Structure 1
Amino acid sequence: MRPSLRRRLLWMISLAVLLAWGATALFTYFDARQQIGEMLDAHLAQSAGLIATQMTHELDNEAGQTVPRQNKQESKIAFQVWDRRAALRLRSANAPQARMSEQDAGFSDATIDGTRWRIFSRWDESGRYAVQVGERLELRRELAQSVASHLLHPLAVALPVLAILIWIAVNAGLLPLGAVAHQVQRRAPDNLMPLGEREVPQEVAPLVQALNTLFARLRATFEQERRFTADAAHELRTPLAAVKTQAQVALAASSGDERQRALSNVVLGVDRATHLVEQLLILARLDPQANLPGAVPVALPDLAASCIAEQAQSAYDQGVELALESAEKAIVLGDPTLLSVLLRNLIDNAIRYSPAASEVEVSITRASGVIRLRVADNGPGIPERERDRVFDRFYRVSGPAEEGSGLGLSIVKRIADLHHASICLSQGTGGRGLAVAVSFPAMAD
């Protein structure tokens, strides 16, 4: 059975009422027992006083007289009258022959024939007779229990009635929650506008606010996906159109050399489209991530050396020399695969835009708890006014003839954000080209 908030509230409130009622009955029992005890003690003292006042006139010389019992309730009450010679002069029918209490004055408790009694003792005004009046203690307990039980008896009727009232009240109280659910249920799938919060109760407001926050995130995500899909379609259209054009040229070529040039251009177009698709796939994988669940210690110098070795042939074909300068201990906490992607994009961009017979410098330094990865080239660089925009997807700097996907630095920025690293763009060595510096928090030694 699915958990029900209504049933849970019903059980919790009913249990709270039951416990409160039971606690009240328990308190009433002890309080009534005390109050009844005080009242009956006063009654014992008053009865003893009346007997002491009357016995001087009514008591004759015959000892051991017994007052006959006239009511069945008198079995719980008894009295005795003793003289100075310890002779029993008068007693009730249920009083024992022996003294009920050895105490001559005041209240005392005693056990008579296995029954606990409460006894009050006193002397008459003349001091000739001692009067003892007692009652069974069970009488006090029975009276207190009767008071408490009469308080609990209505619970058998009140609790079901109260449960029905609680159920009705809970249903009425949850109506705003049902209204919110109905409002969400009848919405169109593409309607992600926020829910109204003006008439929402205070208790439901956090839920509505959480839903509105979720809707805002979904709107941003869907909008980002729409832009991404539109941009990707637009960017893929150009290389595919170029491939088609070159293929048509190859088909229409009248000579082998012309056909070979057209086919070579087809291969170049396919390579550009493949590179663009690879970049798009990387971004599609990075976008949903909020953190790095599999982060491990990564030695950046070793990773940089490996990436430079992978790019060595490309650099040789461009006539570009690759140089690496690194600190001995440069370890960061991160994802080795993503850091490799970051390095490859930086080095690939540097090679792509560097002129022949130039150098791409890769340096790794450590200072003040920060590890700084820097890739510098001697290419055309990026004007300072455009440096903030180069991290936007599909943005290309105007001027350079080399074609790119416009996604490389976007990927670098996303990976840096996941590693809590910062990126700074500046001029390269000697005031020429571009230097990209990524600063990572260093791991403790």
Structure 2
Amino acid sequence: MFVYSALVLWNFLIEEFSTKVLAVFVAVLLSVRFLQMVREASALPPGPWGLPILGSLPFLKGDLHLHFRDLTHKYGSLISTRLGSQLIVVLSDYKMIRDAFRKEEFTGRPTTEFTALLDGYGVINTAGKLWKDQRRFLHDGLRHFGMSYIGSRKTQMEGRIMREVEEFLSVLTSKKDNPIDLNPILAVSLSNVICDILMSVRFSHNDERFKRFMFLIDEGFKLFSSLEASFFIPILKYMPGQRETRGKIAKNREEMGQFLQETIEEHRKSFDSSHLRDLLDTYLYEIQKANEEGTGHHLFEGKDHDRQMQQIMGDLFSAGMETIKSSLQWAVLFMLHHPEVMKAVQEEMDQVVGRRRLPKLEDLPYLPVTESTMLEVLRISSIVPMGTTHAPTRDLKLNGFYLPRHAQIVPLLHSVHMDPNLWNEPENRSTSCRSGSAGGCV
């Protein structure tokens, strides 16, 4: 009995001691981590600390770029804040943005739930050697198929655009005197220019397959937006609603991938290495050449060839079409609100171009009012208020502040567009003109 009591007492003391040791260990560990966080935070660019775990998320009101703008007004042109688990560093001065993004150290991409969904494919959200190779390859390919200001390729591209403009005007004429939604008509016209370069595909204005494709893209933007909270607080991705949304995104991406894969297979059947028709053919040629040289398994850093081509086409199509379409819609809206500017542009076009032909690129030097108006529309609309998020490839310093490798670096383009040091009354659309431009600003 005595031995049993002694053993019970011994076990109790051991458990009590172990519990205290564990508590002390955890307390020390948390204290060390807290001091590390304080030391790191003191070296970061200025900005609000926010709440534990949540950061500044509870204080967000309205659009994120406007929240960042308000922070830069309070803390300066280089600020930092936390949104959930993510450290965000915002650059709002154009010289700082230009100088930083010229450096190799800022060419990384942050690892987030969003980038995990894309799994490193494409060009927009890739980094390292794959991004460099794809960027160079696409620049060369796009220039070859008309994205150039000189030579026969420019004429080829101009002719491609003018054909779609004529078709666009024909559709508008057919709907004369009736209310019209420009969005779907612009989408088809712009997509035809882009798709012709990418994969030699053209859609009609009542093509059901195109309508479905556009629906998937629009829905994709909305679904990704609904996941925004889990991008900053990853544990939220396990919530029931989030899982359903992710499932829907995966299903839509699969359907879009199938559509693009059909185009890839059609190109393979008619592929001729001596006659490259479009950007997709240049990819097929690159794959063929790598396979013949025995280096196909290294191409695209070992990623699946077809999936990479799918994502490249998706990146270029959605990003290119949506930005141009939004810019044109803003231009129409501003013209409607400023008829005097619309009249000035029309008068200049009548004098230089006339009404018997479409304008050409060679007319642009003689259209200062039109050009300055176009540039002002791009500035004031800020359709991409925040540039693509970057990340340092290593721990570094910027303007004396510490930027850790995991930070998300956001170029706040909206603040550049609204900087009173660069623009005259930037918020006033009727008076703010691009420095040195002719009249006609909106």
- Whether TM-score is above 0.5 comes out as no
TM-score, length basis structure 2: 0.18
> Which has the larger Rg?
1
Higher helix share: 2
Whose strand proportion is higher, 1 or 2? 1
Identify the structure with bigger relative contact order (alpha carbons < 8 Å, sequence gap 6+).
2
